[in-house]
Structure formats: C-alpha cells, structure tokens
Amino acid sequence: MGALDSSPVTDALGGRSDRPLRWGISLPLVAYVALIVCVLTANVVWLARPHPDTGQSYLASLYANDALRGEIGYALKLSMVSSLISAIIATLLAIPSAYALSRLRVPFRALIDTIVDLPLVIPPLIAGIALLLFFRQSGMGQWIENHLLPVVYTQQGIVVAQFFIASAFAIRAVKAAFDQVNPRFEAVARSLGASGLHAFVTISLPLAKSGVIAGFIMTWARAIGEFAPIMMVAGSTPGKTNVLPISAFLNMSAGNVEAAIAIVVLMVAIAAGTLVLFKQLGGQGYIW
Amino acid sequence: MIQVRSLSIKLGEFSLRDVHLSVNRGEYVVIMGPTGSGKTVLLECLVGLYGAESGEVWIGGRRMDGEPPERRGVAYVPQDYCLFPHMTLADNITYGMRLRGTPAEERAQKLQMLSDLLGIGHLLDRRPLHLSGGERQRGALARALAIDPDVLLLDEPLSAVDEYTRDSLCEMLKGLQRKLGITTLHVSHNLDEALAVGDRIAVFGNGTILQEDEPCEVLSRPANSFVARCVGVSNVVPGRGVVEDGQRWFEADGVRLHLRSVPEGPCVLIVRPEHVRPMPPGARDRGPRMEAVVRHRQERGPLVWLDLQMGGLSLKACLPSGAFSPDADSLSAGTRVDVVLPEHEVHFAPN
C-alpha cells in the first residue's frame, strides 16, 4: 500500500494478554470491510457469469448490444462533462469563499458557516425539490430561467443541481486546506513587500495546493454521483439528461438489470479510483 | 526611527493600552516581558497585521498606522521563523528582492553577501524542512535583511535554540546590527538575552510598557515591583516610609530600617540580591545593618543563594560561593548574621 498509509500507527494492544481484546475490537471492522467487499464483488461476479442464450458473459453481451452501449456511453460522457464543469465552478467559487471563512473576520461568520453546510445535510431529494420550486415558482428563479440560463429540464439543470450541493463540499475541503496554512507566512510575505493578493497567490495558495486538488476531486466525485436533485431539476430524459445514476435508475425500473449493474460496476470503479487519487494527494478524512 | 504614541489595541484576550515607545535610528531595543503578556501583539501591530483602536505609529518619520504591511519598510522575523516551506532557502531569501524587481545579478550578489555573513552558503538549495532551528533562524534573518529594511523586528528570535547556541547567536545578532546599523526591536522574555544585545530595554507588562531605559538603569532602578521581578530582582518589599525627628525609616513587617532615601508614605523597597550583604556579626561595614538568620542556603555553581530572615521580613542574598569568597562558607543555614544594605543600592518605587 505504501503511499496510502499516510499516518504511522502505534499498536496500543501489542501484548499477548491483549489478544482476545484485540480480536473483540477488530471483529466489527473486519465484518464491515467484508460486507463492502462482498456486496461489490457480487455485482462483478453477477456480470461475469455466462448468459444462457449466447454463452458469453453478461458483460460481453451487454457490450455487444449497440443501443445499450450507446446509452451507457452517452450517460458516461454526460456525467463526466457535467460533473467536471460543476466541480471546476464549485472549486473556483470555493477558493475565495473558503479563504474568507478561514482568514477574514467575516461578520455573522458562524451563521454563514452553518448555511454553507446546509446543502450537505439536507437530503438530496429535498434539495432537488427546493431547487425546482425556486426556478419554477419564485420571481428570482423565473427571471434566471427566462433571462440568464434555462435550467429546469435542461442539461444546464444537471450542472446547477450538482453545483448546488458540491459547492458546499468544495468550500469545506478548501477551507480545511487553508486552515492548515499558518497565517504568519502571509504576514511575513507582506512585510517583505508583497500585496495581499500577491501573498495569497505566491504563498497561501501553493501551500494549500494539494488540499485544494484533493477537495476538487472529492467535489467532482460527489457531483458525478448526484442523482435525486438532477432527477428533480433536469428530469430523466434519455438521450438528454440521463447521467449515469439516472441511467442506472431508468434501466433498473425498465427491468434491464444487466445494464443497471454494468453502471453500478462502472461507478464503483470511478469511486475507487477517486479515493486512491484523493489519498495519494494527502487528503484527510474530513470530507464525510 | 520608531515612535509609538498612546497605542491601544484590543485583540481577543490581549489588550494593549496606552503604549509609548521610541526607538532611535540604529538603536537596538529589547522589549522584555513574561510569556503571554502580548509582546508579540505589539510587534505585529508595528508590522501592520492589526489595526490600532487608538494611538499613532510612526516609522522613519512617516505615520504608519493604517498603512498595509508592505508599505512600512519593516522586516519581520516571527518566533517560528516562517520560512516558506515550498521554496528553497535561496528563494526564501530573495523573495522580497524579486517582489521589488531587483535585477538578477544584484539579487545573486546580495544572496552571496548575506549567506556569507550568516554562514548559510552551503544550505541555499535546501528546503526549510531540512534545516535545523539555528539554520532556519539565520535563514529567516537573511530573508529579512535582504530587503534593506529601515527597521528589523525580531520576535523571540532565540527561544528555539539551546542556551549554548544562544550566546553565540546573541553575539552574532548584535554584531550584525552594529555592522548594518539597522534599527532593531527584539522581543524576548529572557533577561540574559536582553542584556547581551539591547542598547535599551523596554519592560512590557499588563498590556503596556512599564519602563524604557538603559539596561543598568532598569536593573538597578526598576520603576515598580513588576519590572523589578521581571529583571530578576527578587527582593521587593512593600512597606512605608516614616519620618521621625528628622530621621527617615522604612517600616515593613515589624522591621525598621534606617534609610535616608526612603520617601514618606507607602512604597516598595527594591534591592538586588547581589547587593544584600550578609556578614558575620561584628564585622565592620558601612551602611544600615540589622540582625538576621540564614533560613536556607542553596549552592548554584559559582553562586550561593541565601534566604535571610529578619523579623517578619525575608530577603534573598546572592554571593560568590566559598571557592571565590571565604565568607560564604561560614554562612550555613541557622547562622546568625548581620545584614548590610548599602544605601546607594537600595531603591524605592511607588507601591
């Protein structure tokens, strides 16, 4: 594992007499890890078993199905593009916001901090309904719909729904990164002649870099996995707004279990890759 | 060069009130005070990190309160040095010069000059993580000096180094300051350090500057009991001055001392332990004397510390140990002695 083991672990229960206690404590952990691994492998094994008609594996027969391949391919592309856009916007917004929360004496700071956390705590479906109501029924939302950007039941709606929730993630993660940087570094830089902006760009931002990148990755992971708010705001039109999770849901509802499971495996792979990347970049467990 | 007038700041648990300080061009002033007394806040206020509630800060004849740090011409070396961890030592040192657009050739010369001066030439390619405490300290100093500052502000620059290194770094700091003629303000809680480098000492306590003077003046004539304790005067005795038949007496804890310089009314008697002279009864010495008993004796290398009890009053005395002074050997615990307080070494301050 090497690089994944970021913190050294001291064994508090190293003695022979501690052995029963050791097992007692470790058992729930082992059981939970086993559960996760079993659930995920069951999906892969299920896809790999031979199809009774063709003799090929389910995965291979799925791949041979052009229509299905096209649909999943489209969903993957749409998911990738929309989540990247929303993660980039969210991170760009998060850098100044998180810096302000971390460094500046903002009025009503505790209140703002709580409001920023709200999208993380509100159930996603509820956030989606709230967003839909905002764009359809409120004056401001309607104005945005009519004059700025049509959102409801459009592809832009996907990005808006992802952005609404992912931004909170980005701000949390980037703030944690800035919190780690000693504010005196900037103070020294300024005494040496740097303007506030220059000190930020040459000192604080580079020092928070890996935290910001890790934050971006987790933001993106959250965005790509978003389902309910997208369903509410952008709808679930195949060929238009069916991102991967929606595609999985539509296939599952229509009885195309194989296709749904293929998406499951794809998304698990994406999530695992993201986590490895996140930990490689020194990300801490502050996201969840 | 630096003028602080009636400066007041409120910052969380720290508050500075009515701080007055003046540092002349080319002078080395040490701000001394106990840990956690807000000395750093004062320094960072001069750097420009905090705005003052009231009062004025003048640096080099220009009013600076309200100016951002980058316009103050003040180089700051914080206690933890704060070398930028993502840059090599060389890049750290030239950071300020690069901001000023100093030509590369001039930068290289200056880097060479400073690294030679501070003996860090072999470390320039290293990142701060791979430097020792003393090396970081010199690196941070080089970075500060590289911008030719009008004023150098050092926050506890020697607190992270061991005592042995401290002596040599003190000499280096003082020598460097003399050589470059930089007006320097140095914050410290260590008396030895303050005495080794300071042209003048400002004693800081209760959020303000209590006394600002030359080291020997602060040592021998502390302005009040707080300053006295801060500069290692352990004998601070509250009492009152009384005038009777034209004679002046100091009264405390039932003991009466005939001291001509005592002011009338409540006051504190301040005398350095090295000026308290215990001697065998009957020995001749000038000055008011009184009978005392040695309560406790402690050897500390070349010095002997004695707790002397006279009535309800106790004083500490410090004298060279037996090897250096034959008298000291005879002063064991329980011995009766005469204590002489030389009149000119006793100082009174308002209570």
pLDDT in tens, B86-120: 999 999 999 999 999 999 999 999 999 999 988 89
Question: Does the CB of A207 have a partner CB in chain B at under 8 Å?
Answer: yes
Within this chain, do residues A101 and A32 fall inside the same structural domain, yes or no?
Answer: no
Which residues in chain B are contacts of A191 at CB distance < 8 A?
47-48, 69-70, 72, 74-76
The pLDDT of residue A283 = 59
Within this chain, do residues A229 and A89 fall inside the same structural domain, yes or no?
Answer: yes
Within this chain, do residues A256 and A169 fall inside the same structural domain, yes or no?
Answer: yes
Within this chain, do residues A98 and A27 fall inside the same structural domain, yes or no?
Answer: no
Distance, CA of A100 to CA of A175 (rounded, Å): 9
The pTM of the full predicted model, rounded to 2 decimals, is 0.79
The answer on pLDDT for A231 being more than 90 is: yes
The pLDDT of residue B253 = 83
The pLDDT of residue A94 = 95
Domain that holds residue A29: 2-48
The answer on pLDDT for A96 being more than 80 is: yes
Q: Report the domain count for chain A.
A: 2
The contacts of residue B105 (CB under 8 Å, 6+ apart) are: none
- DSSP for A187-239, written as a single string: HHHHHTT--HHHHIIIIIHHHTHHHHHHHHHHHHHHHHH--HHHHHHT---TT
Within this chain, do residues A126 and A36 fall inside the same structural domain, yes or no?
Answer: no
Could B95 and A184 be called an inter-chain contact, meaning their C-beta atoms sit closer than 8 Å? Answer: no
Which residues in chain B are contacts of A203 at CB distance < 8 A?
84
Closest by Cβ to B74, choosing from A182, A184, A191: A191
Could A191 and B69 be called an inter-chain contact, meaning their C-beta atoms sit closer than 8 Å? Answer: yes
Judge whether A60 lies within some domain: no
Question: To probe the interface with A, which of B77, B82, B91, B93 has the most A CB atoms within 10 Å?
Answer: B82
pLDDT in tens, A103-136: 888 889 899 999 999 998 999 999 999 999 999 9
Q: Yes or no: say if A283 and A218 are a contact pair by the CB < 8 Å rule.
A: yes
Distance, CA of B174 to CA of B184 (rounded, Å): 10
Nearest to A227 by CA among A243, A204, A209, A251: A243
The pLDDT of residue B326 = 61
Q: Yes or no: say if B203 and B38 are a contact pair by the CB < 8 Å rule.
A: no
Instruction: Report how far Cα A200 is from the mean position of its chain's Cα atoms.
Output: 27
Chain B nearest-CA distance from A197, in A, is: 12
Question: Does the CB of B228 have a partner CB in chain A at under 8 Å?
Answer: no
The pLDDT of residue B277 = 86
Q: Yes or no: say if A234 and A164 are a contact pair by the CB < 8 Å rule.
A: no
Within this chain, do residues A267 and A167 fall inside the same structural domain, yes or no?
Answer: yes
Closest by Cβ to B84, choosing from A193, A198, A203: A203
Distance, CA of B276 to CA of B337 (rounded, Å): 12
Instruction: Report how far Cα A218 is from the mean position of its chain's Cα atoms.
Output: 5
Question: Does the CB of A206 have a partner CB in chain B at under 8 Å?
Answer: yes
Q: Is the ipTM of this complex over 0.85?
A: no
**Residue A35: C-alpha distances to residues A30, A32, A40 (Å):** 9, 5, 9
Question: Percent of chain A scored above 70 by pLDDT?
Answer: 92
Token pair for B89:
């030592």
The pLDDT of residue A285 = 47
What mean pLDDT, rounded, does chain A reach?
88
Q: Specify which residues B131 forms β-bridges with.
A: none
Distance, CA of B282 to CA of B330 (rounded, Å): 14
Within this chain, do residues A197 and A232 fall inside the same structural domain, yes or no?
Answer: yes
Judge whether A109 lies within some domain: yes
**Total H helices, total E strands in chain A:** 14, 0
Element containing residue A78 per DSSP (H, E): helix A66-103
Size of interface A-B (CB pairs under 8 A): 60
**CATH of B2-229 among 3.40.50.300, 3.40.50.970, 3.90.1170.50, 3.40.30.10:** 3.40.50.300
| Residue of higher predicted confidence among A271 and B328 | A271
Task: Please give the angle made by the CA atoms of B257, B261 and B264, to the nearest 5 degrees.
Answer: 80
The pLDDT of residue A8 = 52
Judge whether A58 lies within some domain: no
pLDDT in tens, A129-156: 999 999 999 999 999 999 999 999 999 9
Which residues in chain B are contacts of A202 at CB distance < 8 A?
95
Could A192 and B47 be called an inter-chain contact, meaning their C-beta atoms sit closer than 8 Å? Answer: no
Instruction: Report how far Cα A211 is from the mean position of its chain's Cα atoms.
Output: 15
Residue with tokens 């996760």: A36
First to last CA, chain B: 34
Q: Which 258-317 residues of chain B touch chain A by CB within 8 A?
A: none
Judge whether A18 lies within some domain: yes
Average pLDDT over residues A28-53: 90
- Phi, psi (degrees; rounded to nearest 5) at B269: -90, 130
Distance, CA of B153 to CA of B39 (rounded, Å): 12
The pLDDT of residue B90 = 96
The pLDDT of residue A22 = 84
pLDDT in tens, A247-262: 999 999 999 888 898 8
Instruction: List the CATH number of the domain containing A218.
Output: 1.10.3720.10
The answer on pLDDT for A282 being more than 80 is: no
Distance, CA of A214 to CA of A287 (rounded, Å): 10
Chain A nearest-CA distance from B143, in A, is: 8
Distance, CA of A167 to CA of A120 (rounded, Å): 9
Question: Does the CB of A4 have a partner CB in chain B at under 8 Å?
Answer: no
Residue with tokens 């509820």: A126
The pLDDT of residue B319 = 86
The pLDDT of residue B290 = 81
Within this chain, do residues A128 and A270 fall inside the same structural domain, yes or no?
Answer: yes
Q: Yes or no: say if B340 and B279 are a contact pair by the CB < 8 Å rule.
A: yes
Judge whether A53 lies within some domain: no
CATH fold group of domain B233-349: OB fold (Dihydrolipoamide Acetyltransferase, E2P) (2.40.50)
Q: Specify which residues B236 forms β-bridges with.
A: B270
The pLDDT of residue B289 = 74
Judge whether A113 lies within some domain: yes
- List helix spans (H) across A49-65: 58-64
The pLDDT of residue A2 = 38
The pLDDT of residue A146 = 92
Judge whether A97 lies within some domain: yes
The pLDDT of residue A54 = 77
Could B86 and A207 be called an inter-chain contact, meaning their C-beta atoms sit closer than 8 Å? Answer: yes
Which residues in chain A are contacts of B100 at CB distance < 8 A?
193
The answer on pLDDT for A5 being more than 50 is: no
pLDDT-flagged residues of chain B (< 50): none
Distance, CA of A30 to CA of B285 (rounded, Å): 85
Where along chain B do the CATH 2.40.50.140 domains lie? 233-349
Question: Does the CB of B320 have a partner CB in chain A at under 8 Å?
Answer: no
Within this chain, do residues A186 and A213 fall inside the same structural domain, yes or no?
Answer: yes
The pLDDT of residue A1 = 33
Closest by Cβ to A193, choosing from B70, B84, B85: B70
pLDDT in tens, B136-177: 989 999 999 999 998 999 999 888 777 787 888 888 889 989
Task: Please give the angle made by the CA atoms of B212, B216 and B219, to the nearest 5 degrees.
Answer: 75
Q: Yes or no: say if B250 and B239 are a contact pair by the CB < 8 Å rule.
A: yes
The pLDDT of residue B220 = 85
Task: Please give the angle made by the CA atoms of B103, B104 and B105, to the nearest 5 degrees.
Answer: 95
Within this chain, do residues A220 and A256 fall inside the same structural domain, yes or no?
Answer: yes
Within this chain, do residues A31 and A155 fall inside the same structural domain, yes or no?
Answer: no
For residue A134, the SS3 value is helix
The pLDDT of residue A287 = 46
Question: Does the CB of B104 have a partner CB in chain A at under 8 Å?
Answer: no
For residue A44, the SS3 value is helix
Distance, CA of A66 to CA of A72 (rounded, Å): 10
| Residue of higher predicted confidence among A160 and A4 | A160
pLDDT in tens, A182-225: 999 999 999 999 999 999 999 999 999 888 988 899 899 999 99
